[in-house]
Amino acid sequence: MLSRSGSTCTITVTKRSEQRGKVITVDPRRYTKATVTRTTLETSFLVDGLGLDPSLFESPIHRLPPELLNHVFSFDDCTADTFPTPFAWTVAHVCGYWRRVALNTPRLWSTIVLDLSSFHVFRHRLNSRLQLLDTYLVLSKSAPLDFVIALPSPRLDMGVCSSVLKRLCFHARRWRRAFFFTPTDVLMPWIHLIQGNTPNLQSLGIGSITKDIGSVMHLESIVVQTGVRRLALTPGLPEAFAASDMPWQQITSLKVICCNLETLPVILNRLPNLTELEFEGNMSPGALNPGHAIKLPNVLILRISGYLHQMAQLLPMLCSPAVVDLSIVLFRAPYANVVDNAAGVRAVKSFVSGAKKIKRPQVKFMDQGITDTVWDHAIRYIL
C-alpha cells in the first residue's frame, strides 16, 4: 500500500505469512534519483564492460535530430484546423527529448484558441486558463501570433476581459491573425495600447456586435487604428458595417459569415480595393431587390460556402469579371425543396460558365443526405 503526504510517501509492506505490516517512510525524490543512478550504472557496465553499441539503448525517436523534429512538429501544427487540438501539449508529453524540442519550437505555441465565454460561472477554472495563455505567450517567444479568443459580456465579468486583453495587448506587435468573439465595447478601452502598434496584423475578426451607433463607431475606430487589411464580418457585423458611412479603402480581403443578403450590395460596393472575398454560412434573403448588383471589378479570389438553394439569389448579384481563382462549396439544406435546389444548380452553372478567366474552378458538394450519384450528375452539369 502506498500513501503520500507532503514531500514523503509511506509504504506498508506485508508478508504473506504475517498480517502485521512494516511501515517504511521513503522520500520519492531520493528514490527516483537512486533508480536513475542504478540504471545509469547498469548501462555503463553493458557499454564499457561488454563492449555493446550505445545506440542499442536509444529508442528510434531519440535518433532524429532536433532540427528535423522541429520542422515536422511545425508542419503538423500549421496544417491544423482553425480550432486546433492542443498538438503542442501532445508532443510535449511523448518523452523528455520530444518535450525539449517542443518547448524550444516557438511556432508550436503561436496559435492560441481560448474560450472564456462562460468563465464568469466557472471562476475556479479561470486561473488555469490564464496560466495556459501566459505559457503560450512565453513559449512562442517572438513568433507571429494567431489567436481566437472568446470573452464573456462585460456586463457579466469585466475582470476576465481585462485580464486577457491586458496580456494580449502587451504582445500587439506580434499579432498576425486576431479573432475576438466579444462585443466591440470590450475592446475599446484597450485601443490606445494597440494604436499604431500592430505592424504584422493581417486579419482581424470581431463577433457579437450590436447594430447601435456606438458599436459602429467602435468598429470603425478599431479598423482604422489597427490598419488591418483583412476583415472578417461575423453575425451582426455586416449590418453594423452597412450602417457606417465610412469609406473602407484599406480593406483588400473580406470574409462574410452568415449575413443578410439585403446588406451585401451596401457593404461590398464600399470596398473599391477589394481583391479577395469569401462568403461562409447561411445567407438570409431579407428584402432583396433582384435588380441590385454587387460590382467587384478588382476581386481576383472568390470563395463561397453555403446552401445550394441560396446560390440562386447570391450568384446573380455578383459581377466579378476579374476573378481567376474560384472555389464553391455547396450544402443541401434539409428544408429546401427540389425546385429551389435546381435553381441553385443552374445559378452555379451560369456563374461558372460566365467566368472567362478561370481555368479550373473548384466546385464541391458536401451533404450526407443525398446520394453520390445525384451530386456527381450536378457536378458534371456545372463543370
What average pLDDT score do residues 357-365 get?
76
Percent over 90 (pLDDT), the chain = 1
Identify the CA nearest to 320 among candidates 380, 268, 379: 268
- Are 44 and 62 within 8 A, CB to CB? no
pLDDT score of 36: 63
171 has pLDDT over 50: yes
In the structure, what pLDDT confidence band is assigned to residue 138 with cuts at 50, 70 and 90?
very high
Cα gap 335→172, rounded to integer Å? 45
> Cα-flanking dihedrals φ and ψ of residue 260, to 5°?
-90, 130
pLDDT score of 200: 83
Among 138-142, 175-179, 206-210, 212-216, where is mean pLDDT lowest? 212-216
Cα gap 260→288, rounded to integer Å? 9
Cα gap 310→364, rounded to integer Å? 15
In the structure, what pLDDT confidence band is assigned to residue 308 with cuts at 50, 70 and 90?
confident
Angle, CA 230 vertex, CA 226 and CA 233 arms, to 5°: 100
pLDDT score of 120: 52
172 has pLDDT over 70: yes
15 has pLDDT over 50: no
Per-chain mean pLDDT for the chain:
70
Q: pLDDT digits over 232-268, tens only?
A: 766 655 555 666 665 577 788 888 777 667 777 777 7
206: exposed, middle or buried (Cβ count in 10 Å: 0-12, 13-18, 19+): buried
pLDDT score of 221: 64
Identify the CA nearest to 323 among candidates 274, 373, 280: 274
58 or 94, which is more confident: 94
